[in-house]
Structures are given as C-alpha cells and as structure tokens.
Amino acid sequence: MKLTDNVLRSFRVAKVFRENSDKINCFDFSSNGETIISSSDDDSLVLYDCQEGKPKRTLYSKKYGVDLIRYTHAANTVVYSSNKIDDTIRYLSLHDNKYIRYFPGHNKRVTSLSMSPVDDTFISGSLDKTIRLWDLRSPNCQGLMHLQGKPVCSFDPEGLIFAAGINSEMVKLYDLRSFDKGPFATFKLQYDRTCEWTGLKFSNDGKLILVSTNGGALRLLDAFKGAVLHSFGGYNNSKGVTLEASFTPDSQFVMIGSEDGKIHVWNAESGMKVALLDGKHTGPVTCLQFNPKFMTFASACSNMAFWLPTIDD
C-alpha cells in the first residue's frame, strides 16, 4: 500500500493508551517496526507491541529520570539521557532491566541523541555547547566538538555524515571519519529570534533536512545545497513547546502535532498541506513518528495513540 494524500487524510486513532501520569517526552520505533518504546516525565519507560497494539511492559528510571530514548541495534537495548541528578547517558538492557554502560561527559542537559543507522556509534548534543561522539562498547567519549552555541544533531540515513544545527541559525555537515577537520558544508539560515531550533532530521532518501522549532514554523532544507525549500506553519504552538516533526518513511510527507492535539501533514515536494487529523489529545502532541515498516504512526501527549488508515487507496 502506497502513501497518498487520500490515504493520509483517512488516518484515524485506532487505540489510545493511558499508561503515563505525565507527558511522554520521547518515543522510538524498533527498526523492524514491531515495537515502540516511550520515555516520560513520570520516569517510566513503556514498551508497546505494535502488531498486537498493546503495552508489553513498564520499567522505571526513578533516580535519573528518562528522556530522548533510542533503540540501539542490539535487540532489547536502549540508550537515553537523564533529566535528573546528572547529564550522563545510560545504556540499558530491557531484557533484565540492568544498565550495560554509562556515558558521562556532558555537564548540562542533553538535548539531542542520534543513533547511527549502521553501527554502534551515536552522537549527543547538549546545552553545554558540545556535541559528543560515542561508541556503545566504550564509556569514553570518542570525539568532542566545542561549538559557538546550543546544538541539535542527527545522523544521515547512511551513517556517513551528521548534521549539527547550531544557535538556531546554521546547519553544519560533518564527515564522521574526519569531523575533527571541521564541517565540509555550512548553511546559514535567516535567524528567527521568536523561536529556537529543537530538532533536526534527515529524510530516508537523504535529500532533505527537517528543522523543528519551539515556535510555529518548521523549515525544510535541501540537504545538499542548504536552500530552504519550504517553511511550514499554521499549527498552534503559542507556549514554546518542543513538538516533534517527522518525515513519512517514503520521504514524501512532513508531519507535526500541535498544542491543540491536532496533526498537520504537508507534501514535502509541493509544500501544500494535505491533511489535518484530530488525535483527541488532551495536551500538546510532543511526539510524532511514522512506523518505519508498517502503515501506521504514533502520536503522544501524556497518552499514546496508534493510528491506522481507514481506506486502502
């Protein structure tokens, strides 16, 4: 089944889960699309089965809190940042709920965490104005970049380069093997003092970069030339909330939630809005991602919603 405007417009909430007492701050699908794991401000990690459409288990990180949760390539393991006590990144086995390794180094809150799509490398960006490069097999930082401002960062889909958005005004591209030589490309964008950048994602085809903000606009960039192809607005975000924006797996559409619980979808090529979906969320839709393998997506406030199309175009 192919994603089209009509199929997207037909999506409806199939299931709502109320497992959390506070907002879900992040979630991540497994690469096979079969499970999703969420982290919440209530210090819990909830694992859901996407095929059966139900929660499987709940784990807690009461002491350190949990944010920016990411699956690694090893089955049943995740990395996440702490939002209490310290700013260490933790590597957890879900199988026996034991920490495999800690990654200390950042001394302010971690705001970006991106797992390499191809190996055990991951990168983290922090309010301490650094990006750190890590390997899951070692607690020691493998690379450190001092920047001129607060960063957001992400790997490209091939794991060869990573992008850093710095000070909410420029995107720098680095070759992973020679990042210490500096960026091979820098794109300066018009600075918008009304908002800060909160995230950066590549499309699966590697051609586009999506910059999300805590304001009322997203920017879509050409990943090779840095030109702003589209600015997407018209969704509610008056309180400066971090709303996750995502591509669909086919790189054709861009989607974001809003503070009024609705989901907005645009065509990435034309820039036209193609759908406005009502998730009946009770709070801002802080998390939103399409399943990498199946025709479903998830959105979250303090509740988690699974969506399914109601037509098969």
| Residue 154 forms part of a structural domain | yes
pLDDT at residue number 83: 83
Q: What is the pLDDT of residues 205-239, one digit of tens each?
A: 999 999 999 998 999 999 999 999 999 998 988 88
Q: Find the domain containing 155 and state its range.
A: 5-240+272-309
How does pLDDT run across 196-207, given as a tens digit for each residue? 999 999 999 999
Average pLDDT over residues 160-175: 95
250, part of any domain: no
Asked, for residue 34, whether it belongs to a domain, the answer is yes
Nearest Cα to Cα of residue 129 among 108, 114, 115: 108
Domain CATH number, residue 50: 2.130.10.10
Has residue 92 been placed in a domain?
yes
Mean pLDDT, residues 269-293 taken together: 94
- Answer yes or no: is 80 within a domain: yes
218-222 and 208-213 strand pairing:
antiparallel
What one-character DSSP code corresponds to residue 7? H
**Is residue 290 included in any domain, yes or no?**
yes
Model's pTM, two decimal places? 0.95
Domain membership flag for residue 164: yes
- Above 80 in pLDDT, residue 297? yes
Domain count, the chain: 1
Rg of the chain (C-alpha set)? 18
Quick check: is 267 in a domain? no
